[in-house]
Amino acid sequence: MAEKTLKDAFHETLKDVYYAEKQSVKALKKSAKAAKTPDLKEAFTRHAEESAMQVERLVQVFEILGKSARGKTCEAMQGLTAEMEEDLEDFGDTEAADDVLIGCAQAIEHYEIARYGLLKTWARKLGLAEAERLLDETLEEEKRTDLLLTQIAEGLDGPGDDEDGGEETAEVEKAVPRRALGGKKAKA
């Protein structure tokens, strides 16, 4: 059996991330439905669309490798989405619902950031410049989403607040550019 190379590891990880990204689209759509705060609903809806583009970018990276786009079960993402289901059952009807949803979504974003960061580094080491560019584009979207979710969470009312937190969440719109959607508007 031929010795395995970094390029093989790259291909295997790409399959893992391809599966994970498709799962994340489903999780985001579900989160958009479950979210109560309009800003959060919109953030999830937008990132679901962005993620569909990210899946397409991964297909392009498979093409660069000369491989067909095929996923393989990512146990980490399965675990994260299973935790999300459980949290939705436990907290979906409570005042903590949006906070808990954000927590689940950020766990997913952090996994994605770890994986895309890795793939980007490996693409560079393998001299796959176009793949590196595509992976970096996605990596930046994941980082922006993570930041946006933190900002929304900070703007959400806590049990100790008396009035609304509307001002803070309005700031979020300015903090994160819309250009990542490539001008396409959410169908909502």
Interface ranges with Fe ion (CB under 5 A)? 16, 21, 51, 54, 74, 76, 109, 112, 142
**Which CB, 165 or 180, lies closer to Fe ion?**
180
42 or 157: whose CB is closer to Fe ion? 42
97 or 135: CB nearest Fe ion: 135
Q: How far is the CB of 83 from Fe ion (least distance, A)?
A: 15
Rounded CA separation 98/34 (Å)? 8
- CA 109, distance to chain mean position in Å, is 4
Alpha-carbon distance 95 to 158, whole Å?
Answer: 9
Minimal distance in Å, beta carbon 178 to Fe ion? 16
Closest chain position to Fe ion (CB): 74
Residue 39 host element (H or E): helix 38-65
Nearer to Fe ion, 170 or 175 (CB): 175
Angle in degrees, 0-180, between the axes of helices 6-34 and 38-65, rounded to the nearest 10: 160
Q: For residues 125 and 109, give the distance between their C-alpha atoms in angstroms, rounded to a whole number.
A: 24
Minimum separation from the CB atom of position 17 to Fe ion (A): 7
Least Cβ distance, residue 184 to Fe ion (angstroms): 16
8 Å CB contact between 83 and 107: yes
CA–CA separation, 43 and 30 (whole Å):
12
CB of 90 to Fe ion, least distance (A): 23
Q: Which is nearer to Fe ion, 39 or 142 (CB)?
A: 142
